[in-house]
């Protein structure tokens, strides 16, 4: 697959098996669905990862870009430096042999170095807009329909990413051409001064500490969506929504709902690559697993059975 993708050929598309939904424990899923349906949309919230979950892993035979990967700075030297970091750290991110505390330190190091290079290279908001318009990034089919359905039902969506909030928001603007009042992006947020990046706000979110951020992040969502905008009132308070639908593409994404004190959680995993090797782990960790870069239509179908 990767060889075909790198060559830009269509072999990947031709040889990809069709997407499938795998349910490890149908009885447990049925129970969770019934419990969530009983309390309805007023008690439900959705927490979704961004890269490889809301977005496609493959686009026309090439790997889709991530919010980090698509970024091009005015000075290409800084892109090369970030790419060198990616080549060193990305294999470590997926290494099954590095102990978790050691790996956490490595991830902190990677994120710190990347953020520093973005500041040092003088990233501008204009660079972000241009990078997104040139990017190979696309939402999965059915994402817009899912967001529309959830907006209509008044269900809040927290997009939780170790990527870059400002890029993700620009992707939403350019690729969806509309905004959703029920969606909040929780990710690493930039501070600009005169159009140039000067700092990042708050504590860094990397792939291994999403669980530590779940609770801190709930407060701003509560304030932003629940209070101060009149019409939604307390209805959008995520703390009172004890049923969770979680969408992710890594088992680490399951930590996104830690600390939320939920009553019922249905976890949906997108297994984008290494399907044979990882299906067992994924189908034990997630209630439903969509393989082979499937669309969001299966999730929409499931959500429509809950609301
Ligand atoms: P997430 O969006 O699934 O939360 O994870 C962010 C991804 O970003 C993670 O898989 C590693 C990747 N990444 C880059 O591609 N370049 C970078 O410079 C950094 C820090 C992360």
Express each pLDDT in 229-276 by its tens digit.
334 445 566 778 999 999 999 888 999 998 788 999 999 999 998 888
Pocket flag, ligand 1, residue 270 (CB < 6 Å): no
CB of 162 shorter than 6 A to ligand 1: yes
Q: What ipTM, to 2 d.p.? A: 0.97
The CA dihedral of 249, 252, 254, 259, to the nearest 10 degrees, is -150
How far, in Å, is the centroid of ligand 1 from the Cα of 5? 20
CA of 86 to the centre of ligand 1 (A): 9
Q: Residue 180: which pLDDT band, with cuts at 50, 70 and 90? A: very high
Q: Are 268 and 299 in contact (CB under 8 A)?
A: yes
Determine the distance separating the centroid of ligand 1 and the alpha carbon of 161, expressed in angstroms: 9
| 88-136 per-position pLDDT tens digit | 999 998 787 899 899 999 999 999 999 999 999 999 999 999 999 999 9
What pLDDT, on the 0 to 100 scale, is given for residue 224?
45
- Whole-number percent of the chain with pLDDT over 70: 86
Indicate which residue's Cα is closest to atom 9 of ligand 1.
207
Q: Which helix (H) or strand (E) holds 198?
A: strand 196-200
Stated pTM of the model:
0.88
Cβ of residue 127 lying under 6 Å from some atom of ligand 1:
no
Least confident span in 125-134, 166-175, 202-211, 279-288: 202-211
pLDDT of 31 higher than 90: yes
Catalytic residue ranges: 49, 51
For the chain, what percent of residues have pLDDT higher than 90?
72
The b-or-e profile of 256-282 (16+ CB within 10 A means b, else e) is: bbeebebebbbbbbbbbbebeebbeeb
């Amino acid at each position: 697959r990767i060889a075909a993708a790198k060559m830009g050929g269509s072999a990947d598309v031709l040889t990809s098996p069709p997407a499938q939904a795998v349910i490890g424990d149908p009885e447990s899923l049925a129970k969770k669905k019934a419990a969530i349906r009983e309390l309805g949309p007023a008690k439900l919230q959705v927490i979704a990862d961004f890269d490889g979950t809301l977005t496609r892993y493959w686009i026309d035979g090439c790997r889709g870009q991530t919010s980090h990967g698509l970024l091009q700075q005015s000075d290409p030297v800084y892109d090369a430096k970030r790419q060198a970091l990616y080549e060193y750290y990305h294999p470590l991110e997926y290494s099954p042999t590095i102990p978790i505390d050691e790996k956490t330190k490595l991830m902190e190091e990677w994120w710190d170095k990347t953020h520093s290079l973005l500041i040092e290279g003088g990233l501008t908001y204009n660079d972000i807009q241009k990078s997104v318009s040139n990017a190979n990034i696309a939402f999965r089919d059915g994402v817009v329909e899912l967001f529309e359905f959830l907006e209509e039902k008044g269900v809040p969506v927290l997009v939780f990413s170790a990527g870059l909030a400002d890029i993700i928001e620009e992707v939403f603007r350019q690729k969806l051409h509309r905004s959703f009042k029920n969606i909040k992006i929780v990710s690493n947020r930039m501070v600009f001064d005169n159009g140039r990046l000067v700092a990042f706000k708050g504590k860094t979110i990397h792939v291994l500490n999403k669980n530590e951020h779940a609770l801190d992040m709930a407060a701003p969502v509560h304030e932003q969506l629940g209070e101060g905008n009149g019409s939604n009132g307390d209805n959008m308070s995520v703390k009172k929504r004890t049923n969770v639908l979680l969408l992710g593409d890594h088992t680490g994404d399951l930590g996104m709902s830690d600390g939320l004190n939920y009553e019922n959680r249905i976890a949906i995993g997108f297994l984008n690559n290494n399907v044979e090797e990882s299906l067992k782990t994924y189908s034990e960790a997630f209630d439903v697993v969509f393989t082979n870069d499937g669309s969001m239509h299966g999730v929409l179908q499931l959500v429509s059975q809950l609301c």
